[in-house]
Amino acid sequence: MAPPLLKLDAIRLTFGGTPLLDGADLSVTAGDRIALVGRNGSGKSTLLKVAAGLVEAQDGEVFRHPSATIRYLPQAPDFDGFATVRAYAEAGRGPADDPHRVTYLLEHLGLTGEEDPTTLSGGEARRAALARVLAPEPDILLLDEPTNHLDLATIEWLEDELQRSKSAIVLISHDRRFLERVSRATIWLDRGQTKRLDRGFAHFEEWRDQVLEEEERDQHKLGRQIVREEHWLRYGVTARRKRNMRRLGELQSMRQKHRTHRGAEGVAKMAASDAAESGKLVIEAKGIAKAYDGVDVVRDFSIRINRGDRIGLVGPNGAGKTTLLRMLIGDLAPDAGTVRLGVNLEIATLDQKRESLDPDETLAHYLTRGRGESLTVNGQDKHVASYMKDFLFKPEQMRTPVRELSGGERARLMLARILAQPANLLVLDEPTNDLDMETLDLLQELVAGFAGTVILVSHDRDFLDRTVTSTIAPEGDGRWVEYAGGYADMLAQRGSKTFERRGGREKAAKEETAAISAPQAAKPSSKKLSYKQKFALENLPKKMEEAGAKIAALETKLADPALFSKDPTGFQKIAASLDAERAALHALEEEWLELEMLREEIEG
């Protein structure tokens, strides 16, 4: 087994009360792909900060290989002291790192590098931080929620980039599909301690359930054993005092173990408050359009949404998802076309930016809307402390201001409020942001089983596949198309892996940015491949293999740490050649993919 590059052993950390980390371990060797999972507030981010050297543990041992380079992606990057995004990203490089890699990363992450860090949106800040940590290609990458605020196109690009990376990776994410595709091992942080599964996240949930079942059986056996020992003490033979005292000591140890056992964390209880049934027609849009600064965000879109439909909206950031959503529910007037809402509609809305949260408002005041200490849920009065427990808040948090909550707690708080509101139309804009997987499971069941109608915007592919009955996606130039089924079904019908997106920063608009996804290339209409196309399809794999070999050779030359100091000009020439070869390989791959898809379409 390879020696570890990073090893945390028996890490203990507490901020008062129950320890956050209580004997947690983490071992990272070269090539590892580790998913670090656990409930919100379980200490995942703190453990990653201990690994990065940003937080000092109160007890335990930390080993970092002296020659290993470590880069950490925080949830909230600090841009202080940097005039541009490029300057921030380049600050993460070492003297021997590829000087062109920052340009490559910024381009693929949709940034120019000239942006002012103080004006970045949440998604842009996350992409800039990714460029900084990926630029040096370190020995270990510690990534805390790398997909937060990213659109689907960028998430899928990041998946491919991490799969190609030579770095060992430890990542925290609540995106199931992302974890399944990137991870090869899973570490579960639960009640302060870690358990390791040497398989990817796809196998985690079945294993976790088995571990919890075994733990429950063990606790039941221990309880029965305590009962037997207590019976023996009361009614058994009292001779042989030495042996009796030993058994009494063992009984006390068992009682202590049983009493101090931290049971599995509770599970939120989600249920939407019922409203009167809406009419069969919920929303009908005919030829609606919206443009900002002369750029079409939505053009000539029509849809009929009936009671019971669950509609998902997907697409790149800035494509116009929120604009289309707001037009459909009547919050934003279209420039052209008409929107007709059905009768008896009761709408509950979760906004993407959580803007309805006042940071100085207390949890109880927010949930009850300032109407005392009780609220009405499904026609019954319920004390706010009792309702808060359903969403994993403690009664003592009633007077806690919103500003002290984590991102996941804020998301749960907003869900608690909208689910208490009687509704037959749920409108959810990025509902999965910051939720842990257990809460995501419950939200998924709620959406899938909701008796009314649901319209949601999400970048979570797994969530979309499990919940929606149809998916609306952009096709470029303001055109939107509805596809039957979830995200995977949409891709199969659409005939492409993901969405095209233009480099550079999205243009800010009054209601939403107006950047548009690039239109798909038109497919040849012939019913058979031409001789030229057949020849290209047969020979492109060989050309791609040759280009790959050239790239590997150039990368080997650049890997020489002394090359830059000995021959700076030669280093620059090799780096430029490497960029050219990578671009050529990308063009070959695109050509081969288009021809292969055409062949499958003709043969299928």
As annotated, the binding site includes 38-45, 315-322
Label residue 348 left, alpha or beta by phi (over 0 means left) and psi (-120 to 50 means alpha). beta
Buried b (16+ CB within 10 A) or exposed e, 476-491: eebbbebbebbbebbb
Residues 488, 490, 493: CA angle, nearest 5 degrees: 110
Write out the two tokens for 316.
Answer: 């790149």
DSSP state for residue 147 in the 8-state scheme: T
Q: Which residue type, as a one-letter code, is found at position 423?
A: A
Tell me how far apart the alpha carbons of residues 174 and 178 are, in angstroms, rounded to a whole number.
8
Q: Which residue is associated with the tokens 């639960």?
A: 190
Tell me how far apart the alpha carbons of residues 58 and 117 are, in angstroms, rounded to a whole number.
35
Tell me how far apart the alpha carbons of residues 429 and 351 are, in angstroms, rounded to a whole number.
5
Q: Which residue is associated with the tokens 């007037």?
A: 333
Element (H, E) at 413: helix 407-420
Binding residue positions for ATP: 38-45, 315-322
Contact 343, 276 (CB under 8 A): no
Q: Which residue type, as a one-letter code, is found at position 64?
A: R
Q: Which residue type, as a one-letter code, is found at position 4?
A: P
Backbone angles phi, psi at 172, to 5 degrees: -110, 130
Beta strands in 178-280 (DSSP E): 185-190, 193-197
Contact 90, 136 (CB under 8 A): no
Neighbours of 470 (CB within 10 A): 17
Contact 222, 258 (CB under 8 A): yes
Element (H, E) at 428: strand 425-429
Backbone angles phi, psi at 364, to 5 degrees: -65, -45
Contact 63, 4 (CB under 8 A): yes
110: Cα separation from own chain's centroid: 19
DSSP state for residue 378 in the 8-state scheme: T
Residues 42, 45, 46: CA angle, nearest 5 degrees: 80
Write out the two tokens for 190.
Answer: 């639960």
Q: Angle 437-449/407-420 helices, nearest 10 degrees?
A: 20
Burial group, residue 338, by CB count within 10 angstroms (0-12, 13-18, 19+):
exposed
Q: Is 208 helix (H, G, I), strand (E, B) or coil?
A: helix
Element (H, E) at 487: helix 487-494
Tell me how far apart the alpha carbons of residues 342 and 358 are, in angstroms, rounded to a whole number.
32
Tell me how far apart the alpha carbons of residues 111 and 120 are, in angstroms, rounded to a whole number.
11
Closest CA to 154 of 109, 123, 124: 109
Altogether, the residues listed in the chain come to a count of 604
